[in-house]
């Protein structure tokens, strides 16, 4: 599979769906960021579309709110959690195993893993 074929976060839909999800749960930004484990600036940048989290972080957010990560990322129109296996058919066997392992982590562990991935990705382009 080419890297272009991998599931990505839709930069137009993610901010709208994230904000809609927060409002549907009647959460303030402060409450939502606490549930997910990020700061106010990060959450605001996500909702404004100025910053987009990686797919692992999206999966973590979706698990906190108990919705389909593919919906939140903009890759599916169905919010229901049980559609994830249908929404991620192009993942490699290894990637599916990682997603399965990730789903068994605690909320705190998912936040930590998301931050480690963000750190790695932020340093990937450095000389």
Give residue-wise pLDDT tens across range 67-102.
888 889 988 888 877 644 545 566 777 887 888 788
Would you say residue 70 lies in a domain?
yes
- Rounded Cα gap, residues 79 and 49, in angstroms: 20
Q: Is residue 2 part of a domain?
A: no
Residue 22 within any structural domain of the chain:
yes
* Distance of alpha carbon 49 from alpha carbon 96, whole angstroms: 27
Q: Which of 75, 65, 1, 73 is nearest to 27 (CA)?
A: 65
pTM over 0.85: no
User: Can you give the CATH number for the domain in which 52 is found?
Assistant: 1.10.260.40
Is 3 among the domain residues?
no
Count of the separate structural domains present in the chain: 1
* Model pLDDT for residues 7-23, shown as the tens digit of each residue: 688 999 999 999 999 99
pLDDT in tens, 46-62: 999 999 988 888 888 98
Domain that holds residue 117: 10-123
Residue 1 lies in a domain: no
């Amino acid at each position: 599979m080419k890297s272009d074929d991998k599931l990505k976060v839709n930069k137009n839909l993610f901010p709208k769906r994230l904000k809609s999800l927060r409002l549907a749960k009647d959460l303030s930004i402060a409450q939502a960021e606490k549930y997910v484990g990020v700061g106010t600036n990060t959450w605001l940048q996500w909702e404004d579309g100025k910053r987009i989290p990686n797919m692992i972080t999206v999966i973590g957010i979706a698990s906190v709110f108990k919705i389909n990560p593919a919906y939140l990322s903009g890759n599916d129109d169905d919010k229901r959690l049980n559609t994830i296996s249908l929404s991620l058919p192009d993942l490699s066997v290894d990637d599916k195993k990682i997603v399965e392992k990730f789903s068994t982590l605690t909320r705190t562990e998912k936040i930590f893993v998301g931050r480690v991935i963000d750190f790695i990705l932020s340093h990937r382009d450095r000389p």
